Amino acid sequence: MQQCTSNDDLIEYQEFNWSVMSFVSEMVGLFRDNPDPQTAILQILKRVGELYRVDRVYISLFTPDGTKIETALQWHVEDTPALNFSDLINRKDVLHTFQEREICRCDDVSKLDDENAKKFYDTYGVKAGIEYLFIKNGEAFGWIGLHDCHHTRHWLAREIELLQTVAILLRERIHSL
């Protein structure tokens, strides 16, 4: 359990008061109760968006040849436009943006050094974003992303950990779509 060092930390923790295990249980229940995996995934994206208080949660997938990405599924708040891209992109360029890690975290888009990542975020009005790669058999096939389009923010360790857990649980379902 995370240690809170001040009343502000305790209040912040209580606002974000959920456990990874309870969310995993909720995700399993959504898959169990929905015969259509896409319906369950969309409900999970919405729940993630509400928990993180972000404007957009989406899943992008590479085409089988790895030359294009497509937004497969997404949830967004009303005043935030949907991602609607189907771009020619090289899997290698995406992995460069992720810097050979599974997670790409940006607390403040205006401070990015990577011009390609900055252009991507700016195009969609993103102030802060976090993405987690879907990797199967050593190969990236897509990612889940969260965007805050109104504020910069510091992504907390527990937010990153939950996103990692969500991504791992969704990976198999997404790979079979």
DSSP 121-143: HHHTT-SEEEEEEEEETTEEEEE
pLDDT at 9: 53
In terms of CATH architecture, what is 7-175?
Answer: 2-Layer Sandwich (3.30)
Give domain limits for the chain: 7-175
Q: Would the CA dihedral through 20, 162, 38, 54 be positive or negative? A: positive
pLDDT at 89: 65
120-144 pLDDT per residue, tens: 889 889 999 999 999 888 888 889 9
16-58 pLDDT per residue, tens: 555 677 888 888 898 889 888 899 999 999 999 998 999 999 9
How far is 109 from 34, CA to CA, in rounded Å?
Answer: 37
The verdict on pTM exceeding 0.85 is no
| Token representation of residue 21 | 């295990």
Max distance between CA atoms of the chain, in angstroms, equals 52
